Amino acid sequence: MFELVLGTHNPNKLIELRELMPPDLVRLVSLAELDDALEVEETGTTFLENATLKAVEQAKHLNRWVLAEDSGLSVDALKGAPGVYSARFSGAAATDQSNNDLLLEKLADVPTERRGAHYTCQICLSDPQGKLRLQTKGECHGVIGREPSGTNGFGYDPLFIVPEMHQTFGELGSVVKQAISHRARALRQFLPAFLAFIDQDQPVG
């Protein structure tokens, strides 16, 4: 069993990744389960920069393998915002509700054809020495709805409509989301190389 630290306190992300990882090969541990975890400041201007920071700094501090990801929503009509600020879009005390309310407010007068958006997930793996060993990225494109719909998922999921499904992430079940989400797509690229490393018991190159 390969123990891997997931560089987040977000229980929803932990649940999603645990569902996608093979439980017989990988044991995921979240930062919430560790007493000595580091609070890494997300000072990057891109998802890659933030994911790298969270993986490398945490790995060096804990002296363990760390998988970190940074993800968010980019809205075309807002020139890519909220982007890396997705979790704190409505301020330091932001909640999913306040972020969704602010997004709807900013898009109130934007017509449907200009409400395109995409989710991005950037995954980075660091070894215990703080060397970045693997990075992958996944995207999922959709449209921002005019009101929340569905109770599944988290973040902007109740507003993010997947055109080919005619439903929001909030309405789609976890099985469908695991197949088409930005996080699932990034992990599908990541897993083959990572599992090959576990099988061969040698560093990822």
Binding residues for substrate: 8-13, 71, 154-157, 177, 182-183
Give the closest residue to 59 by CA, choosing from 109, 106, 124.
124
Selected catalytic residue, list 24, 35, 36, 70: 70
In three-state secondary structure terms, 112 is helix
In three-state secondary structure terms, 154 is coil
- Residue ranges for the known binding site are 8-13, 41, 70-71, 154-157, 177, 182-183
In three-state secondary structure terms, 172 is coil
Edge-to-edge strands, sheet with 26-30: 26-30, 2-6, 66-75, 116-126, 132-144, 160-162, 167-168
- Neighbouring-strand partners of residue 73: 119
d(CA 127, CA 67): 9
The answer to whether residue 101 is catalytic is no
Axis-axis angle for helices 182-200, 11-20 (nearest 10): 60
Do strands 66-75 and 167-168 pair parallel, antiparallel, or not at all (unpaired)? unpaired
- Residue ranges for the known binding site for Mg(2+) are 41, 70
Residue type, 143: V
Catalytic residues: 70
